[in-house]
Amino acid sequence: MSKRRSLRVLTALVGALALTATSAFAAGIQDPIPAPIPPAGVDIALETVASGLVSPVAAARAPGDGHHLFIADQNGMLWGVTVHGHGGRHDKWLVADLSGLLVGNLATVIGIPYDERGLLGVAFDPKFKHNGLLYTFTSEDPTDPPDFTTQPGEAPGGGQAVVTEWMVENPHAKQIVVDPASRRVLMRVDKPQFNHNGGELAFGRDKMLYISLGDGGNADDEGPGHVPGGNAQSLAAGNVLGKVLRIDPHGSNSANGQYGIPAGNPFVGAPGADEIWAYGFRNPYRFSFDRKSGRLLVADVGQNDIEEVDDVKAGGNYGWPVKEGTFLFDQGSVADPNDGSVTANSPGAPAGLSDPIAQYDHTAPGGVRCTPATAPSACQGIAAVGGYVAKRVHGLKGHYVFGDYSRQFANPLGRLWVLRDGQVEALPDPGVAVFGFGQDKHGDLFVLGNETGLLSGDTGVVLKITEGDD
């Protein structure tokens, strides 16, 4: 693959624009949302509670544990971090080394240390203190047959998304450690391409495990491993790509017998769709449950123009690739992997699609197109990263705090947002590329990121959001 082609694919992956003014830009809307993102006027501070990581992408808390967060580093390391220690101490220890399970070509696909695969998610069983169980989402080589595939009989180009159950040696230990012999694979999903993995895991109030999966990769939801009309819109047998799934890890009535199908899932009985909770997503990279309301809030990464946040309900269709945000989306030609574009703004239509509760575009005020060649100031952001409803910090409490990977690809130019009264507002920039968020037992929020924007180096940090000086 040529360098030019590699970069074109990369910009599609993270929601940036193509290198040059392609037909996608000419056909689409130049500036979909002209209004700038206003400042929130909230003063915050960021306290470092862990450092020396590579690319921290997810954080989880263990039920009953008010002192620690557990950090999934994309390179396969699962860390425990003390976030509420005596005398302000923030210890860090290795819970599990899963690097040997990851795809063999991690961070080498396009010639620079960029990848969207790896150790992407972690969640603790609601009865963790009693059963010691936790779950991970990893990207692995296709060494075993898939449970779901859109390319029967073919080797998947992006490897497999694998959800695994583990047991820790002593769930009551101050520093828990995973038993490497306890591995039990729940499901394997073939990935056509290496991007758009989703990768979030979380338990809801119903004690069911929710899993996010992207549309398979590439761009426009087209190409090898993508069905006509897009994987995200398909409810055909074997196609769980572009979906949020809900399963019971303690059940056994799934096709492979490794997990349960909750009876209340909206498509139970539809061929191949038993696990699906909601669909129509491009890359539902991060989601969370609002502790107060129980709402499932999903940040879905856009392609060239629109980033969105969805309030996800059972059976909902969130539009991709028919729509991107509230805008109609033209997939373009299958022959061109990145010529799709937004066209008319169409809130509420077509019927049957759920619009986001919040959206913003990539283009800065003035209509300057955000491309890798433009100044960072011409980009408001390029890839939404889901967060949490805040429980602390004046001006944030009760509001959804999330972010954006970066103003510009492969730069530590991440953004922090707060959603208030339906309006996305800007918080002070964190000074790192943003990969994820975490929330501890007490409701404190944490930002995960690094100073390279890539899967490289040792500048990965976990930052606690606290009150500012004012």
Q: 5: part of which helix (H) or strand (E)?
A: helix 3-14
Phi-psi region of 285 (alpha: psi -120 to 50; beta: other; left: phi over 0): alpha
According to the model, what pLDDT value does residue 18 have? 27
Taking the whole predicted model, whether its pTM rises above 0.75 is answered as yes
Q: Which residues pair with 124 in a beta bridge?
A: 134
Q: Is 432 helix (H, G, I), strand (E, B) or coil?
A: coil
For the segment 322-333, what is each residue's pLDDT rounded down to a tens digit? Answer: 999 999 999 988
Query: What does the alpha-carbon distance between residue 435 and residue 346 come to, in Å, rounded to a whole number?
Result: 30
Using CA atoms, how far apart are residues 75 and 54, in angstroms rounded to an integer? 7
| The CATH number, out of the four listed (3.40.50.11900, 2.120.10.30, 3.40.50.2300, 2.60.120.10), of the domain defined by the range 3-467 | 2.120.10.30
| pLDDT on residue 371 | 74
State residue 27's pLDDT score.
59
Can you read off the two tokens belonging to residue 453? 């924007």
Find all residues with CB under 8 Å of 321, minimum gap 6, and list them.
215, 220, 221, 229, 230, 232, 233, 282, 329, 331, 340
Burial (CB count within 10 angstroms: exposed 0-12, middle 13-18, buried 19+), residue 443? middle
Helix and strand numbers, DSSP H then E, in the chain: 3, 27
SS (H, E, C) 239-286: CCCCEEEEEECCCCCCCCCCCECCCCCCCCCCCCCCCEEEECCCCEEE
What are the domain boundaries of the chain? 3-467
**How far is 269 from 278, CA to CA, in rounded Å?**
15
Question: What CA–CA distance (Å, rounded) separates 368 from 366?
Answer: 6
Structure tokens at 347: 């809130």
In 74-208, which ranges are E strands? 77-82, 92-97, 119-124, 133-140, 160-167, 184-190, 201-203
Write down the residue that tokens 């779950």 correspond to.
135
**Which residues are CB-neighbours of 390 under 8 A, at least 6 positions away?**
396, 397, 398, 399, 400, 401, 418, 443, 445, 465
3-class DSSP state of 236: coil
- What number of CA atoms fall less than 13 Å from residue 374's CA on the CB side? 24
- Beta bridge partners, 190, equal 160
CA angle 372, 373, 378 (to 5 degrees): 80
H-type alpha helices, 47-111? none
C-alpha 321/C-alpha 265 separation (Å) is 23
- DSSP annotation string for 88-101: G---EEEEEE-GGG
- Other CB atoms within a 10 A radius of the CB of residue 104 amount to 8
Q: Could you tell me the two tokens for 269?
A: 């009985």
- Only one residue has tokens 């992997």, namely 337
- Collapsed DSSP state (helix, strand, coil) of residue 123: strand
- Report the amino acid identity of residue 84: H
Which segments in the chain show pLDDT lower than 50?
A: 1-26
